Structure 1
Amino acid sequence: MNSNKKYWKGVEELNRTPEFVEKNKNEFAEPIPIEDVLSGDGLSGKTPRRDFLKAVGFGVGAVTLAACQRVPVHKSIPYLIKPEEVTPGVANYYVSTYEGSAIMVKTREGRPIKVEGNPNDLLGGGGLSAQAQASVLELYDVNRTKGAMKDGSGISWSSVDDHVILELAKTLDAGTGIRIVSSTISSPSTLSVIADFIAAYPNAKHVTYDAVSYTGIIQANQNSFGKAVVPHYNFDKADVIVSFGADFLGTWISGEEFTRQYVSKRAAKALEEKKMSRHIQFETGMSLTGTNADVRIALKPSEEGVALVNLYNAISGTTLPGSKPLSNKAASNAIAVVAKELVQAKGRALVVAGSNDVATQTLVNAINSILGSYGTTIDLDNNSRQYAGNDAEMENFVSEVKAGKVGAVMFLNANPVYDYYKGAELAKALEKVALRVSFADTKDETTSVCNVVAPNHHYLESWGDDSAIEGYYTVKQPTINPVYETRQAEQSLLLWSANAINNYYTYVRNVWDTRILPLAGLSGQAGWETVLQTGFIKAAPKAAGAYTFALDLNGVAQKVLAQSAQVAAGSGAFELQVYQNSAIRDGKHANNPWLQELPDPVSKVTWDNFIAMSQNDMKAMGLVEGDVVTIEANGYSIALPALLQPGQAVGTVSVAVGYGRTSGGIIIENGIGKNAYPFYSLRNGTFQTTSVAKLSATGDNIQLAQTQTHHSYEGRNIIRETSLAEFVKNPAHAVGKHEGHKDYGLWDEHERPNYDWVMAIDLNACTGCGACVVACSAENNVPIVGRDEVRRRREMHWIRIDRYYTFNEKGEGVTEETEIAHLDDISNVSVVHQPMLCQHCDHAPCETVCPVLATVHSSEGLNHMAYNRCVGTRYCANNCPFKVRRFNWFNYWNDSRFDNYLNNPHTQLVLNPDVTTRSRGVMEKCSMCIQRIQAGKLKAKIEKRPVRDGEIKMACEQTCSAGAIIFGNRNDPNSAVSKALKSERTYYVLEEFNVEAGIGYQAKVRNTFELEA
């Protein structure tokens, strides 16, 4: 461990700005006003009259009745006649699928309340993304369309059917086109339904359009190998990984799957053998993947093509025409080292790029071909089906609409009026189309210009299937009857095309009986029931072929270099990169408050997008953080607050898409960020995310709802990090252990005769994605507080992911003497993520200061909270060195001021009845999912046996694709957590305080290499 290495959460902490020092003088951001205590209210002085139990009572009645009828009944009805499959107080689990991942859905009294990963899932291995965890909340969204509509008014489904069938017949007679525009569909049954529809209407065509496109990869593989597919990448087979702007641990293709693969080569088992893969990231803005890289190089978009050409030259030993040296010296030096590393790892190397440019991806194919990656780290035969959008088809569709050649259009899970780069032009052109049908279940931007709305079911109300990877098939089954008068889109298409099978469940069964079940040697009702229990089947994989690249690269290289030159910014301009962040992604789920309040893993901003800039560029423009800047590119401009982002390439700016929605729910209609999709451009036949932009300050300033420095450790060192080389020489170097040090305690030791519940967290496995934060909120009824409350430092998350920056200098830290030289240039930094939650200390500082014994220690090693004893003194939070306790300022779940978030009877149906929903004025914090522990112990007691290791999983642990969190019984020496805590890398945060924390961390190890100055 380098004791001179300094870690900091934000530039304000690094520079000790007056505002940061002032905010951190006190333990709390603000005191509790005495008048608020006397009035019982924090803002208006009025006590809210809404009764929580009344709201939940209404909700349970409504959704329980949804199990036997379609329309919610607005009154509470007891279980006079209990459904056979429902036992009050006992959860039922159903298998289903979310975006191709096999999942399990937990229901209570007939209502889904939690989504978990299927432990045998091929993609996440039981882990799930934040989006999957948050998806259950959208089932209860009051903004969902309640039934079929025509011209803005509600009508019956039979009237919709009659009208649509008549209009389709007119279109067929007139010879104009019918178009079904959808995002990528990987469901075999849905694709079959669309094929049958097109057979019934020969003038119909299916247009696949993805807001974030991968056409460049697909077309490059078609050109290179004759296979128009997105490959299945195997990061677990790569010893050296080089990425050019591909955020493969976050938003690129299959983040949860790639995370699981990536960590298998870098965390516990690999480090026990004193080896790990090496990851080098070249990118413009700091991405989630970039924060996890061993070596990260800031690179402008205009430099990426030049860097790739130089890498190809270095690996192949040839020189492509037009090649030129990189002006970026750090990148040039890195390319020379990386080329040697890749060649040495031939057959175990992988190069990926996030660009959607066909020529760029073709050059990457050539590099991977030389490295022998095809058939090992890249599989073209068992390919991914997760993205199949075709940019040329979408452009052609828009041209057809403008020319009046389309008589009917249907939008299925696609919202191009919002996320197509010329959405406003498309909206106007659609006025020429006689029949415009939207299957969206909320009134999104595209639905707003449609004259017929046939709202689709939520996926938890639906039958169906998916096949995200060739040969892997997951099944979807309803976990609740439709809450509203919606109808599955496939059912509508079957009826409108007069299909011989007019029931979609029967259609799905037919597809599985004839095409899918035989792949696993199953058949009939027995085979179908087997699938409904396991959730998926996997056919035998095809042999992965070793493909040879045979294209002439001269022309390809010229296109790559020309593409780079097009985005090179002149004096006074910036190179703009548009990207997806890990929470909001492409914006489809922007109305979900769990995702809006999830801090971005890198910036820690919630509820907004922004312009990420380097410190040098902000200084040159005279900007401070939060200054509103107008950014103009491609004839479009928006105004956003600037954010100083360490690691941002100088001369570049980055803006996230997915924000600026104008229709689709209460939250987004209140104005969350600005739409960055119009910054896209069409170049070389595909949608490109980079361009040249001009910036100008508006004079305004907006305070971003940013959580990064809300909790300070006063400069104490709580991160342990080392290099692989140092770790191999001396494992103790990672944690800085001091032999012979003896701790003295002021308290008697606790006896734990049966269980000693503890946790281990591996910093080498944690990528910082934040899925655990949403999973914890869903499991433990953690409330959303909204943007203004986050600005007041009142976020309620029980687990947070702290993100720390540290300077790089030849792969190591800098000393205090050289640190000053870096303060004006923070582009060369590395990042460590650290999950932080209640440490369940044996010598808990909080317990000794609570005047009412609301927080006490259990005989099983846990720190408990008795909420109805707590009077809100906040002494415990004051005494907690980890700052993990949260004060409930308001009844966020049941207060009229928070209607925009979760305060409505339907949304409260997602509440977990096993967890107390806290009232205002009490402290709350991680309970180590005590309800799960008690359920596991009860099950074991009934079966007259001890609890098995791994039988009880925390919500955060269960959703982590990286397996970074391990929970268990320390009294069992063979338990996974006991073994993890015996690791050479284990240390305890603030161990010098002798609080005897119950959570041990495994130090971060990076496989770095030194670059020449």
Structure 2
Amino acid sequence: MDSNKKYWKGLEELNKSPEFVEKNKHEFAEPIPIEDVLSGDGLLGKTPRRDFLKAVGFGVGAVTLAACQKVPVHKSIPYLIKPEEITPGVANYYASTLEGHAILVKTREGRPIKVEGNPNDVLAKGGLSATAQASVLDLYDVSRVKAPLHEGSEKEWSDLDDLVKLELAKIADSGKKIRLITSTVTSPSTLGVIADFVAAFPTSKHINYDAVSYTGIIQANQNSFGKAVLPHYSFDKADVIVSFGADFLGTWISGEEFTRQYVTNRNDKSLKAKKMSRHIQFETGMSLTGTNADVRIPLKPSEEGVALINLYNAITGTTLPGSKKLESNSTNNAITIAAKELAAAKGKALVVAGSNDVAVQILVNAINGALGSYGTTIDLDNPSNQCQGNDADFAEFINEAKRGEVGAVLFLNANPVYDYFNAKSVTDALAKVPLKISFAANLDETTAVCNVVAPNHHYLESWGDDNAIYGYFTVLQPTINPVYNTRQAEESLLRWSSNPVTSYYTYVTNIWTTGILPLVGVTGTKGWETLLQTGFVKTASAPLTAYTFSRDLNAVAQTIISQSAKQVAGEKDFELHLYQNNAIRDGRHANNPWLQELPDAVSKVTWDNYAAMSLTDLKRLGFQEGDVITLDANGTSIALPVLLQPGQAEGTISVAVGYGRTKGGKVIESGVGKNAFPLYSFRNGTLQNNNVVKISATGDQIILAQTQTHHSYEGRNVVREAKFVEYQKNPFKGSGKDGEHKVYETLWENYDTPTYNWVMAIDLNACTGCGACVVACNAENNIPVVGRDEVRKRREMHWIRIDRYYSFNEKGESITEEKEIDKLEDFNNVSVVHQPMLCQHCDHAPCETVCPVLATVHSSEGLNHMAYNRCVGTRYCANNCPFKVRRFNWFNYWNDSRFENYLQEQHTQLVLNPDVTTRFRGVMEKCSMCVQRIQAGKLQAKMEKRPVKDGDIQVACAQTCSANAIVFGNGNDPNSEVSKALRSERTYYVLEELNVVPGIGYQVKVRNTTESEA
């Protein structure tokens, strides 16, 4: 192991601040609130512990009818199995699609309760993001629009149809324009409906609008190669990856797909073959991708274009006009080294940039062209259909509307009144449009200014399809009848345009049977039914072309230099960098409490956004964490608390967008963060996520609900890592075992596990820290949301957490050649390790020996069980657990209206998994290794009269992981994947010196540093 490194979760832990030391003297944040016990709402409470039936019966008539009503519907077919009807207690699985991924939807008694990735999905091979895992909760959102509205009053669909058709006809006859504004549409059937609508109304036009734009990349490819496309990137084919601000493992284009690709060159199989990709990240704020890089260089937004020019010069040996060195010698050295490595990996190199500036992306194209990346790591012939928003088209719509030329506008999955940088211009323009129609499922900010609301189905109630990348088609089928009186937006468009096909189901089947299925040699009803079982088809890929970049770059370089100069902040100002975090994204998921309570992958803050600053700037300005400052730009300002972020570029501030919404649901309207979209800038024809801001202190302070230092190991070694060059020489480097686990003497007898020994392996080199496993566990195990105030008291209930550790880069680990770094500047040069932490299911479990009522016991299958009915809440077990993975139910979070859990609301409780009891106040809970799934897998094998096979049983966290970082199985089977993983030379056990004999083994983190750096 690397004994010279010191790992820390936050500055308070590193400096042992008095507050941190005092907190960690106590196992719990505060004693049991005795006032509540005395008031009558005590540990036993007023509601029986397992009162699930009562929860289901509380105000759930609409959902019950939706699941069971006998109406003429087109039958959707469960994945692989075709039950005649629902069997109580038996789950059905339906193939569907979300975000372009093929998925499986688990339903119980007609209600969807869990979303899983389809293991055959071309993009992520069964992996799903945190947002996809949480999407099922939105189906049961009681704030959804329950019926069509006109001027705020409910209407019958037939009356609304007559009204809209009449108005559209008048507008068309008058010659005024009709505009249909949507977020990127990747569905072939939806595009067909829109095309038919446009044909029926010749003055209409479809505009793709995305809050977070990729117009710069698309226009750059049009300028460079004559192809206005978003490329399909192949990170698995790249030996050297250099990224400039592109969070490709997180929110950039297709994070789950890129994660799967990226890890294939960095997992155990690759390492054993002595191969590992090299990843260098230049960025402003610490991103999820930056935390996983081998080398990370802080870079201001104003320096990005200049750095790319220098990289191009170093690779090609030319000097573009206006070229100049950056102020930091270490950054200049880093660019030189990156250029050498990229050139050495020609044909297997990839450079990406997160900028939306056309000139910057043209320069990136030139670099990739010089590296021979087109046709290898970049595919323009089988492009991505995602992120097709056009900034210029939407800007022109605003101008048209202001001139009074637009008679009607229709919004589908677009909310520009909230997320456009100049929202006032949008509202002013819409005030001059007579007919404004929204298809929103919730009354969001844009819907609030519309006079017609035609509420759309949730995707789990819908028919449809998707085509996220060229040649990959997925099908969408409903898993429940509509909960409310909603209607699919496509069907509304069909009716309003007097299309001869008024049923959208018929429209979809026509598209597939006549256009898509014949591409793969399938036809007829049988082909359609087979599709509903498999969920997707994949056509042959187009041949790859090695495109040559031949454009003159002199004007491009001058544009970049000019634009960069405008971004440089004055002495008292800061350069602002706006980004999306992995959960809330652009704000469309802001009303989902599972996502709000998911800690940010880097800062571990929940329920808020903040202004991330470097320690140098924090000290210089005399700020402390939580101090509220105002950020002023574009004639607007927002107030946010300051957060110290190691790795933040000096002179910059990073802020997450997607927060600060005002309409759209109970969570949103409770006040969650501030809207940073108004701080975007519009330059060089595109929306860009950086600007120059003035800051000032307000004198206020906010306590952020931050989980990073809620638990401490008191300096014990729990994270281990090694350099790749060392690993190549000694595969046991870092694990500390040199081929042998140390044998400790023990007073305890070992447990027998005669048939099954359920164990887990977690590869720290594969885990990116995205948090999808946390949300998957929430959904599978009925874990409650506790809200901001309870998180502040260290009472979050997550059964699995992702611990994030910083460490200072030592001499030899940094890509720079500087010998000494000022102490404050050390915080700009840190590396990060993510470690999933859950109950270790120890064979010598410390929790079991101290429980006075045998509520926590060991099973003959190696699991540490919890008997909730026995638990009396002494909390001795949590006190004795060295891993701090047990959670105490301070309150009845599911049903107590005093807490902002947002899951007590009527229909929302229908998302509960009936196979897992909901725990009540006063009991301890923790990871059960999804014991309900283990029992179901064993029962299925028994019914089929066979032994359990490896892979039959998947725990929720492992199933959703796109990186395959978590492997679960029977340790008694030497051929199981988990046994093979645990036999890896990199395997170690956290706190194994305590001799608790954990059931979870970790594989050492390996960083690819070169010989010269080591």
TM-score (norm 2): 0.97
CA distance in 2 between partners of 1:328 and 1:252 (Å): 27
Residue 77 of structure 2 is matched in structure 1 by none
Q: CA deviation at 1:425?
A: 2.3
Q: Partner residue of 1:800?
A: 801
- In the TM superposition, 1:138-157 aligns within 5 A as 138-157=138-157
Query: What CA distance in whole angstroms lies between the structure 2 residues aligned with 1:627 and 1:477?
Result: 49
The CA deviation at 1:985 is 0.2
Contact 1:519 1:539 in 2 (8 A): yes
Residue 1010 of structure 1 deviates from its aligned partner by: 7.5
The aligned counterpart of 2:606 is: 606
Counterpart of 1:390? 390
Q: Aligned with 2:159: secondary structure?
A: helix
What does residue 548 of structure 1 align with? 548
* Closer, same or farther: CA 943–389 of 1 in aligned 2, 3 Å: same
CA shift at 1:123, angstroms?
Answer: 1.1
8 Å CA contact retained: 2:759, 2:1000: yes
1:55 positional shift: 1.8
Contact 1:234–1:378 (8 Å) recurs in 2: yes
Match of 1:641 in 2: 641
Q: How does 1:55-94 map to 2 (within 5 A)?
A: 55-58=55-58, 62-69=62-69, 84-94=84-94
Are residues 68 and 751 of structure 1, via their aligned partners in 2, closer, same or farther at CA, if it must alter by over 3 Å?
closer
SS at match of 1:440: coil
What amino acid maps onto 2:955 in structure 1?
A: M
Write the mapping of 1:161-180 to structure 2, written as runs, cut at 5 A. Answer: 161-180=161-180
SS in 2 for 1:881: coil
- 1:934 equivalent to 2:935? Answer yes
Letter in 1 for 2:353: A
> Shift of the alpha carbon at 1:328?
1.8
| CA spacing shift, 1:599–1:837, aligned 2, 3 Å | same
The corresponding residue for 1:462 is 462
Counterpart of 1:590? 590
In the alignment, which residue of structure 2 is the partner of 1:962? 963
Give the direction of change, closer, same or farther, for the CA distance of 1:829–1:740 in structure 2 (3 Å limit): closer
C-alpha separation in 2, matches of 1:144 and 1:954: 32
> Which residue number in structure 1 is paired with residue 360 of structure 2?
360
In structure 2, C-alpha distance between the alignment counterparts of 1:743 and 1:373, rounded to whole Å: 53
Instruction: Structure 1: state its 5+ residue gaps.
Output: 72-82
- Asked whether the 8 Å contact 1:808–1:830 carries over to 2, the reply is yes
SS at match of 1:896: coil
Q: In 1, Cα distance between the equivalents of 2:610 and 2:808?
A: 24
Query: Cα distance, 1:70 vs. partner?
Result: 9.6
Superimposed CA distance per residue, residues 670-729 of structure 1 (whole angstroms, 9 cap, x where no aligned partner): 110000001112111100111111111110100000000001101111001010001111
Q: What is the match of residue 686 of structure 1? A: 686
Aligned: 1:522 with 2:522: yes
1:844, 1:995 within 8 Å by CA — same for their partners in 2? yes
Amino acid in structure 1 at the alignment position of 2:214: Y
Deviation of 1:428 after TM superposition, in Å, equals: 2.5
* Partner Cα distance (1:35, 1:830) in 2: 45
Q: Name the amino acid aligned to 1:307.
A: A
Q: Verify the 8 A CA contact 1:333 1:1011 in the aligned structure 2.
A: no
Aligned to 2:376: 376
Question: 1:1010–1:271: structure 2 CA closer, same or farther, 3 Å change rule?
Answer: closer
Structure 1 distance, partners of 2:248, 2:984, is 28
Q: Residue 500 of structure 2 aligns with which residue?
A: 500
1:28-48 CA distance string (max 9 Å, x none):
1111134433445379x9856
Residues 144 and 224 of structure 1: is their aligned pair in 2 closer, same or farther, counting only changes over 3 Å?
same
What are the Cα deviations for residues 278-312 of structure 1, in whole angstroms up to 9, with x where unaligned? 00000000000000000000000111111000000
Determine if contact 1:210/1:389 at 8 Å carries over to the other structure: yes
- Equivalences for residues 14-33 of structure 1 within 5 A: 14-33=14-33
Distance in 2 of aligned mates of 1:577 and 1:757: 45
Give the partner amino acid of 1:448: A
Q: Aligned-pair distance for 1:177?
A: 0.3
Matched to 1:215, the amino acid is T
Are positions 1:892 and 2:873 aligned together?
no
Q: Structure 1 residues 851, 37: closer, same or farther in 2, change over 3 A? A: farther
Equivalent residue letter for 2:970: N
Superimposed CA distance per residue, residues 343-400 of structure 1 (whole angstroms, 9 cap, x where no aligned partner): 1100000000000000000000000001000000000011000110000000000111
In structure 1, C-alpha distance between the alignment counterparts of 2:789 and 2:812, rounded to whole Å: 40
Structure 2 CA distance for partners of 1:813 and 1:417, relative to 1, 3 Å: closer
Residue 524 to residue 741, structure 1, CA distance change in 2 (3 Å): closer
Residue number in structure 2 paired with 1:864? 865
**Counterpart in 2 of 1:10?**
10
Are 1:242 and 2:242 matched, yes or no?
A: yes
**Separation in 1 of the partners of 2:385 and 2:85?**
36
- In structure 2, do the counterparts of structure 1 residues 322 and 750 end up closer, same or farther at CA, with 3 Å as the change threshold? same
Give the CA deviation at 1:69. 3.8
Q: Distance in 2 between matches of 1:128 and 1:467?
A: 17
Contact conserved, 1:70 with 1:481, CA < 8 A, in 2?
A: no
Kindly tell me the number of residue pairs found equivalent between the two proteins: 999
Give the Cα–Cα distance (whole angstroms) in 1 for the partners of residues 178 and 846 of structure 2.
68
The residue that corresponds to 1:758 in the other structure is 759
Distance in 2 (alpha carbons) for counterparts of 1:178 and 1:820: 60
1:823 to partner: Cα distance:
5.4
* Aligned equivalent of 1:736: 736
Distance 1:940-1:976 versus aligned 2 partners, 3 A rule = same
Contact between 1:6 and 1:813, CA under 8 Å: does it hold in 2? no
CA distance in 1 between counterparts of 2:42 and 2:339 reads 61
Is 2:937 the partner of 1:973? no
Whole-angstrom distance in 2 between the partners of 1:29 and 1:735: 34
Could you tell me how far 1:754 is from its partner in structure 2?
0.4
Q: 1:60 to 1:664 in 2, by over 3 A?
A: closer
Report the alpha carbon displacement of residue 64 of structure 1 after superposing the two structures with TM.
3.6
**Cα deviations across residues 106-132 of structure 1 (Å, max 9, x unaligned)?**
000000000000001011110000000
Give structure 2 stretches of 5+ with no counterpart.
72-82
- The Cα of 1:53 is off from its aligned counterpart by 3.1
In structure 2, distance between residues paired with 1:751 and 1:59: 48
Give the AA of the match of 1:563. Q
Displacement of 1:59: 6.5
Q: Give the conservation status (yes or no) of the 8 Å contact 2:577–2:653.
A: yes
CA distance in 2, matches of 1:954, 1:68: 30
CA contact 1:441–1:458 (8 Å) conserved in 2: yes
Letter in 2 for 1:282: F
CA RMSD of aligned residues (A): 1.9
2:213 counterpart SS class: coil
Moved more, 803-812 or 784-793: 803-812
Q: Does 1:669 align with 2:665?
A: no
Which residue matches 2:992? 991
1:114-193 aligned at under 5 Å gives the runs 114-193=114-193
Deviations 1:388-416 (A, max 9, x none): 00000000001111111100000000000
After superposition, the Cα gap between the structure-2 partners of 1:254 and 1:820, relative to the gap in structure 1 and judged at 3 Å, is closer
- Asked if 1:260 corresponds to 2:266, the answer is no
**Take 1:551 and 1:125, find their aligned partners in 2: how far apart are those partners?**
38
How many Å separate the matches in 1 of 2:744 and 2:683?
A: 65
Aligned-partner residue type, residue 774 of structure 1? V
Mapping for residues 118-517 of structure 1, pairs under 5 Å: 118-517=118-517
Letter of the 2:446 counterpart: T
Please report the TM-score for the alignment, with normalisation by the length of structure 1.
0.97
Mapped to 2, the partners of 1:283 and 1:825 lie a distance apart of 16
Query: Counterpart of 1:96?
Result: 96
> Can you list the C-alpha shifts for 1:636-656, whole angstroms capped at 9, x where unaligned?
100000000000000000111
Kept in 1: contact 2:399–2:429 (CA 8 A): no
The residue type paired with residue 174 of structure 2 is A
Offset, 1:52: 4.7
How has the CA–CA distance of structure 1 residues 876 and 341 changed in structure 2, closer, same or farther, with 3 Å as cutoff? same
Change (3 A) 1:914 1:31: same
CA contact (8 A) 2:842 2:864 kept: yes
Question: Contact (CA 8 Å) 2:784, 2:901: kept in 1 or not?
Answer: no
> 1:850: Cα distance to partner?
0.2
